[in-house]
């Protein structure tokens, strides 16, 4: 009886409360992860999609998609603006140097070749390939691609990226009845996908 009284006095948070907290958190984490490429943004979006799938709000998944895509775009644009400042200054910038350090010569050369062949459209593919975003962004910076052209190419890239990782979350959430089980599967899948480039580099080494 005491348990029932306690539960009534402390009801679980409503979906509206979860969304009021969840959407701003999702936005901040994805934007930060796009600006500082160490946060696993794909896993965050997939986890948010799992939680949204188990809510009764029919627009919850749409909300996750819009927030994730918009946050990714703002983060990309912010990082690109900081990189452009480094390209146009004599001494470069800390952000530009850090980006260049994350792109090895072979990968950067491939990104530059694809940029020459396909233009800003290569941004879409770079967002979908694990560890492909930074080398292509560095190639765009070294080519001094105008910010407006970068944004035009990055909009569909961020939309495709958000849709892909949301789909991973939906698949994970649909398999298990409990949201936490779907989150574990979605996070595991996104980390496994992210680890593919590192594994490929190890296999290429003699």
Q: What is the pLDDT of residue 119?
A: 85
Pair of tokens at residue 201: 């580099």
DSSP 144: T
Q: What is the pLDDT of residue 169?
A: 86
Whether the per-residue pLDDT at 122 is higher than 70: the answer is yes
**Residue 85's pLDDT band (cuts 50, 70, 90):** confident
Spatial distance between the Cα atoms of 175 and 22, rounded to a whole number of angstroms: 23
Q: What is the pLDDT of residue 4?
A: 32
Spatial distance between the Cα atoms of 78 and 160, rounded to a whole number of angstroms: 19
Query: Which backbone phi and psi does 39 adopt, to 5 degrees?
Result: -85, 130
What's the average model confidence in pLDDT over 100-115?
A: 82
Whether the per-residue pLDDT at 2 is higher than 50: the answer is no
How much is the mean pLDDT over the chain? 78
Pair of tokens at residue 164: 């892909």
Helix, strand, or coil (residue 39): coil
Helix, strand, or coil (residue 19): helix
What's the average model confidence in pLDDT over 178-197?
A: 59
Listed range (4-8, 115-119, 156-160) with the worst mean pLDDT: 4-8
Residue 191's contacts (CB-CB under 8 Å, 6 or more residues apart) are 40, 43
Percent of the chain at pLDDT exceeding 90: 26
Contact (Cβ atoms closer than 8 angstroms) between residue 46 and residue 190: yes
To which H or E segment does residue 102 belong? none
Q: What is the pLDDT of residue 97?
A: 73
Question: Which has more pLDDT, 98 or 42?
Answer: 42
The count of C-alpha atoms lying within 13 angstroms of the C-alpha of 174, restricted to the half-sphere facing its C-beta, is 6
Spatial distance between the Cα atoms of 160 and 64, rounded to a whole number of angstroms: 13
Listed range (58-67, 107-116, 129-138, 197-206) with the worst mean pLDDT: 197-206
The count of C-alpha atoms lying within 13 angstroms of the C-alpha of 107, restricted to the half-sphere facing its C-beta, is 22
Whether the per-residue pLDDT at 43 is higher than 60: the answer is yes
Q: What is the pLDDT of residue 205?
A: 52
Question: Which has more pLDDT, 22 or 26?
Answer: 26
Contact (Cβ atoms closer than 8 angstroms) between residue 50 and residue 165: no
Burial class of residue 198 in the structure, from the number of CB atoms within 10 Å of its CB (0-12 exposed, 13-18 middle, 19+ buried): exposed
Spatial distance between the Cα atoms of 64 and 166, rounded to a whole number of angstroms: 8
Whether the per-residue pLDDT at 74 is higher than 90: the answer is yes
What's the average model confidence in pLDDT over 133-145?
A: 89
**Residue 1's pLDDT band (cuts 50, 70, 90):** very low
Question: Which has more pLDDT, 97 or 107?
Answer: 107
Whether the per-residue pLDDT at 84 is higher than 60: the answer is yes
């Amino acid at each position: 009886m005491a348990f029932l009284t306690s539960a009534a006095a402390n009801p679980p948070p409503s979906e509206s409360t979860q969304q009021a907290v969840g959407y701003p958190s999702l936005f901040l984490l994805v934007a930060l992860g796009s600006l500082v490429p160490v946060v696993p943004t794909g896993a965050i979006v997939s986890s948010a999609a799992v939680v949204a799938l188990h809510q009764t709000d029919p627009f919850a998944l749409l909300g996750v998609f819009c927030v994730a895509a918009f946050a990714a775009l703002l983060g990309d644009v912010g990082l690109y603006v900081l990189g452009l400042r480094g390209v146009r200054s004599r001494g470069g910038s800390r952000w530009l140097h850090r980006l260049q350090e994350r792109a090895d010569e072979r990968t950067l050369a491939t990104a530059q070749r694809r940029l020459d062949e396909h233009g800003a459209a290569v941004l879409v593919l770079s967002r979908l390939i694990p560890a492909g975003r930074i080398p292509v962004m560095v190639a765009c910076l070294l080519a001094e691609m105008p910010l407006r052209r970068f944004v035009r190419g990055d909009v569909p890239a961020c939309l495709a990226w958000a849709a892909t990782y949301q789909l991973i979350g939906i698949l994970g959430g649909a398999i298990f009845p409990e949201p936490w089980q779907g989150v574990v599967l979605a996070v595991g899948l996104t980390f496994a996908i992210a680890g593919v480039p590192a594994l490929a580099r190890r296999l290429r080494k003699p």
